[in-house]
A and B are shown apart, each in its own frame.
Chain A
Amino acid sequence: MSALVFRLKQPPDRRIDLSGLIPEALQGRSERAIARLALDGARNKLKVGDLFSLRMGEPMSLRFEGGSERLDLVGANMAAGEIVVEGSVGEQAGRLMRAGTLHIQGNAGPFAASRLKGGRLEIDGDAGDRLAAPLAGEMAGMSGGVVIVHGDAGARAGDRLRRGLIVVGGSSGKDAGSRMIAGTLVLRGKVAGAPGPLMRRGTIVLLGGDCPPSPTFLDCGSHHLVAATLLAAELERLGLGLARKLRRPVRRLAGDMAVAGKGEIWIASHSDPR
């Protein structure tokens, strides 16, 4: 059965919370009932039907035709099904998502995948700052699942990452992997500054280039790691063609010693003769 389609009528004139439009919340609802759902708590309440024209379909598969950087919390808390956004979204896309797939075909704003717990979030464009990070006051960031950004990521991607896999296909902003607790952060492109500040555990994988030396990360030499080949297999399973470099020795840096951390940075590119 075809997807339930939300066609954006016009760009919203304010920030819109779309966290209510997730597959499990729409099951069993009629087109009219969905159109009457309130989108925010503002005085002049905006309803779904005011912003979108609907084409009914299977609610476990949602498609947003048209996006906007004012559409926040897309796919937040989703626990099943699929959401595809043909355009960009605002902040906190996929926040607290537990399962299912969220595919954003444009850019995503800051805090995409914030505290994501499971499922798969894929962003074809760029992601804003603090990808997968916790909001202020929260102790941990993403704690499971997979996040794939094909474009660039802003600053502090993977901040306080607790578990799961993040792959950034483009370049990454400064302080990537800051305060990481565990998990795996794969950075394919250039990285601004020294990654992994204050990381406790976890793995940052640099596929695209060396990183500036940080005095608080210690060089442990180059090694052919079985764990790297397992990561390579996982990247292939996810349909990402990044695995080749991980099947060769990687240089391992341990840190961040500023916090007596037992994290690591793998630098794969230096061993690539090409």
Chain B
Amino acid sequence: MRRLSVSGVVVENSFAEAFDMRATALIITADSRKWARQAATTMTGFATSVIGCGCEAGIDRELTAAETPDGRPGVRVLLFAVSTAELQKQLLARVGQCVLTAPGSACYGAIAGEEKLKLGSALRYFGDGWQISKKFGSRHYWRLPVMDGEFVCEATIGMTKAAVGGGNLIIMGASARNVLNAAEAAVRRIGATRDIIMPFPGGIVRSGSKVGSKYKALVASTNDAYCPTLKGAVASKLGREIASVLEIVIDGLTPEAVGEAMRAGIAAIIGLGPEKGALRIDAGNYGGKLGRHHFHLRALLP
């Protein structure tokens, strides 16, 4: 296969293999942007991978007061899981422990869906009988008295089964600094697209994994083919010029959203160029046998 280089950055003839997931979206508001963001950040903590966290979650974008149901600053959060039951469990645990507890917060659904997840209709019992149901228009809210006033929460929120998890870009370069530059540029550009999250710290993961392990207890282990310190010891995917690799994982509410995010990331990496950024862009897959969504890098070139 002929090498394809765009502005000096090699784009591998590969694809990201992604999976169907369940997802929901919610709007968290508070009296100030700071506290809306704080609640959202806390709620989406420890949610990098379904492998160890039960769900993948992150902030999609910040919302102006005009975009939220209660006219206060808000943040849109997306939550992904592999099953409806796990998504329900994670939603209640995270909103209950991280949003209900945050000063001035309120919580609303932010996605239409035929199937619904319980939110306020389950959390309401915290009100110990003092909870109040309110229906305005087509929306049903619960009001729970708390120590700074009331926690308002929508009774149920929508869920989609059309979500996709596991879109990814593998970014390779001559130095850790350059690769991080490229990854950060990609995260910034991807962050401007809608309906996606990048669940790892700052949107970037350095410990990409492969399926399985020599240890029976582990379902995943380090992706040795992409570890630069093992280049000579394993069947490495890295050339001599590669000294560092980072990955960006993307979950989206639709396949189209993931594709657009990957396209934006590739454009940012190529725009930065090989001198300050990445030498190669690759994507992780399992040979196309596990996930039905295949995002081919060369089809996403700017």
Contacts and interface: CB of A to CB of B under 8 A. Distances in A.
B134 interface: yes
A230 B134 contact: yes
A247 B71 contact: yes
Given A227-B150, A230-B152, A233-B71, A165 B136 contact: yes
A227 B134 contact: yes
Contacts of A262: 129-130, 132
Residue of A183, A224, A230, A232 ringed by the most chain B CB atoms within 10 A: A230
A248 to B, nearest CB: 13
Nearest to A224: B149
B70 A226 contact: yes
Contacts of A247: 71
A264 to B, nearest CB: 7
A224 B69 CA distance: 16
A217 to B, nearest CB: 16
B191 to A, nearest CB: 28
Contacts of A227: 132, 134, 141, 143, 150, 152
A234 B137 contact: yes
B152 A237 contact: no
A184 interface: yes
Interface string B176-206: 0000000000000000000000000000000
A237 B132 CA distance: 22
A201 B127 CA distance: 15
B70 A233 contact: yes
B150 A225 contact: yes
Interface in A175-200: 182-184
A264 B150 CA distance: 14
A153 B152 CA distance: 31
Interface string A237-255: 1000000000100000000
B149 A223 contact: yes
B215 to A, nearest CB: 50
A119 interface: no
A163 interface: yes
Given A225-B149, A227-B141, A203 B134 contact: yes
Contacts of B135: 144, 163-164, 183
A201 B142 CA distance: 13
Contacts of B150: 223, 225-227
Task: Give the interface residue-count category, chain B.
Answer: 10 to 19
A231 interface: yes
B83 interface: no
A201 B143 CA distance: 13
Contacts of A229: 70-72
Interface string A203-235: 100000000000000000001111101111110
Nearest to A184: B134
Given A165-B136, A225-B149, A230 B130 contact: no
Contact of A230 (B129, B133, B141, B149): B141
A234 B136 contact: yes
Interface string A247-269: 10000000000000010100000
A146 to B, nearest CB: 8
B106 A231 contact: no
B69 A230 contact: yes
A182 B69 CA distance: 22
Interface in B98-112: 106
A233 B69 contact: yes
Interface in A39-70: none
Given A233-B70, A262-B130, A226 B136 contact: no
A264 B143 CA distance: 13
Nearest to B29: A226
Contacts of B69: 230, 233
Interface in B137-151: 137, 141, 143, 149-150
A169 B52 CA distance: 56
A226 B130 CA distance: 16
B133 A182 contact: yes
A186 B132 CA distance: 17
Contacts of B152: 226-227, 230
A224 B150 CA distance: 9
Contacts of B133: 182
Residue of B69, B129, B135, B141 ringed by the most chain A CB atoms within 10 A: B135
Contacts of A144: 135
Contacts of B149: 223-226
A234 B69 CA distance: 10
Given A234-B136, A262-B132, 9 more contacts: A203-B132, A223-B149, A225-B149, A227-B150, A229-B70, A229-B72, A232-B71, A233-B71, A264-B132
13 contacts: A163-B135, A182-B133, A224-B149, A226-B152, A227-B134, A227-B143, A229-B72, A230-B70, A230-B134, A234-B137, A247-B71, A262-B129, A264-B132
Interface of A: 144, 163-165, 182-184, 201, 203, 223-227, 229-234, 237, 247, 262, 264
